[in-house]
Amino acid sequence: MSQVTLTATTAFGLEAVVGRELQQLGYEDQKRSDGRVTFQADLSAIARCNVNLRVGNRLLLQMGEFEAPDFDAFFDQIRDLPWENWIAADAQFPVTGSSQKSQLHSVPACQGMAKKAIAQRLEQVYGRSLPETGSLCPVHFDLRHDTCTMYLNTSGAGLHKRGYRSHSGEAPLRETLAAALVQLSVWKRDRPFIDPFCGSGTIAIEAALMARNIAPGLSRNYVAEDWPELSKDLWIQARGEAQAAILPAPEDPLLASDVDFRVLRTARENAKLAGVEDIIHFQQHDVSTLSTKKKYGCLITNPPYGQRLNDMQQAQELWKTLSRVTEDWSTWSLFVFVGSREFERIFGRKATRRRKLYNGTLECTYYQYLGDKPPRMNRPQPRPDEEENQVGL
């Protein structure tokens, strides 16, 4: 099977997490850069990665890379790429792009130029005009420091679109980021789980999917499924492999709560669509009533933090309450994701670790408070990527 160069895109700060996911799928040889993990693989990886990646944003097929200091070089190099190997005579090929610190800084102008160059190549190869009524082959260019990389987007819509979100509610957390928060914690399927500010349930649902090892992309489609160059068998095999890897439900349900009964209704609907409603116990109550008799669990949450609710004072009162009710939870590890540098001071405890992450364009911090380790078990050693983006260690 022929080899291709693939790039999994991700939010800044999560490259190592996506790299680990790719390693677990068997793709060891990687090159990591800001928001990108690039690797060599056979064609089956296009289906396997789209179906299985939890934290990646999209999977891109690299068509070529070249220097583009001006429009002439940009146009000529794009026209010279073998687009006909992937784009059929009737295919649709919309162009998107980005530019950072490059002479060609106008993205709309580059989009038009790239579209024209690809069309000229395809018209010459196919000997006719292009109706663009067939399968969708989205093109994407990435200009960085006058170097252009051309891609085909194999995913289509972002991989955060799992297919289970009925309504997002206020200030939703993307599924890919929620999955990253769980993966960056010490939680395992045999340990208790609580999210006391669950909102529409995204963190709990992503944790539940991991608990059962349900691939996040089993229930959605991808634009590359319609590409004639990729056998339908590749997608059947990828989904079959993922289906066979699903685990039984864990012994204890995950706990998720919120004070708002309306978002809990949405959370239950989302969990049902995700197929994990039987392993998440949703409750309506205020964080001030939070309690547990269980030990050695993980609290993973994204509480209100002012920018989201436009009420910083209210958010800070919630942080104080969370600190008070968990003060004696010495065996629990707490993982709190907020967009405020004031959290640690208001919470009143120094975090074990802090990690800078982004929620969209908003810079946030993931505060990690590690509790006592379970008996007869060794606490997982810090992952290599946890040495990155940490503050005040």
In order of 18, 207, 251, 266, the CA distances from 278 in angstroms are 28, 13, 11, 15
Fold of 3-153: VC0802-like (3.30.2130)
C-alpha–C-alpha distance, residues 204 and 222, integer Å: 25
C-alpha–C-alpha distance, residues 111 and 393, integer Å: 44
Place of tokens 């939010």: 11
Q: Where in the chain is the domain with CATH 3.40.50.150?
A: 175-212+248-387
Return the percentage of the chain with pLDDT > 90, whole number. Answer: 89
C-alpha–C-alpha distance, residues 211 and 196, integer Å: 19
Task: Mention the CATH class of domain 175-212+248-387.
Answer: alpha beta
Q: What is the 3-state secondary structure (H, E, C) of the chain?
A: CCEEEEEEECCCCCHHHHHHHHHHCCCCCEEEECCEEEEEEECHHHHHHHHHCCCCCEEEEEEEEEECCCHHHHHHHHHCCCHHHCCCCCCECCEEEEEECCCCCCHHHHHHHHHHHHHHHHHHHHCCCCCCCCCECCEEEEEECCEEEEEEECCCCCCCCCCCCCCCCCCCCCHHHHHHHHHCCCCCCCCCEEECCCCCCHHHHHHHHHHCCCCCCCCCCCHHHHCCCCCHHHHHHHHHHHHHCCCCCCCCCEEEEECCHHHHHHHHHHHHHHCCHHHEEEEECCHHHCCCCCCCCEEEECCCCCCCCCCHHHHHHHHHHHHHHCCCCCCCEEEEEECCCCHHHHHCCCCCEEEEEEECCEEEEEEEECCCCCCCCCCCCCCHHHHCCECCC
Confidence of residue 95 (pLDDT cuts 50, 70, 90): very high
Predicted confidence at residue 2, as pLDDT, reads: 87
Lowest-pLDDT range of 17-31, 52-66, 366-380: 366-380
User: 162-202 pLDDT, tens per residue?
Assistant: 999 876 555 679 999 999 999 999 999 999 999 999 999 99
With 0-12 / 13-18 / 19 or more C-beta atoms within 10 angstroms meaning exposed / middle / buried, residue 64 is middle
Predicted confidence at residue 320, as pLDDT, reads: 97
User: 220-238 pLDDT, tens per residue?
Assistant: 999 999 999 999 999 999 9
Predicted confidence at residue 378, as pLDDT, reads: 52
Global pTM value:
0.92
User: 351-388 pLDDT, tens per residue?
Assistant: 999 999 999 999 999 999 999 999 875 555 555 454 44
User: 110-130 pLDDT, tens per residue?
Assistant: 999 999 999 999 999 999 999
